[in-house]
Amino acid sequence: MPAWRFLTNHALVLTYISRHPESTGLEIALAVGITERATREIVRDLEQSGYLSSERVGRRKRYSVQLDQSLGRIGERELTVRELIDLLRGRRQDTVSA
């Protein structure tokens, strides 16, 4: 197996949170395969960039993924967070071409 990945840790954290919005930093870290500290830094990056928001619910946080946020141009068109997550979940869209 190569030492590199197709998806960055940022993308992996974002997609994991989209499926598990009430996850703790440790749960996310274990699922993605990175340290809890790296997870917290990535979550902070994603929040500061507008891809993720959070609210306190008791002693925990609940995350919300900003699905309509643009990821920028991929090829000849803009790609949104929703389209990336749908693609990774195996949901086919007419606007995504292989």
Domain ranges of the chain: 9-88
pTM: 0.82
- Residue 31's nearest CA partner among 11, 12, 47 is 12
Q: What is the pLDDT of residues 41-77, one digit of tens each?
A: 999 999 999 999 999 999 889 999 999 999 988 888 8
The CATH label, of 1.10.3860.10, 3.30.1370.60, 3.90.1150.10, 1.10.10.10, for the domain at 9-88 is: 1.10.10.10
Q: What is the pLDDT of residues 68-88, one digit of tens each?
A: 999 988 888 899 999 989 988
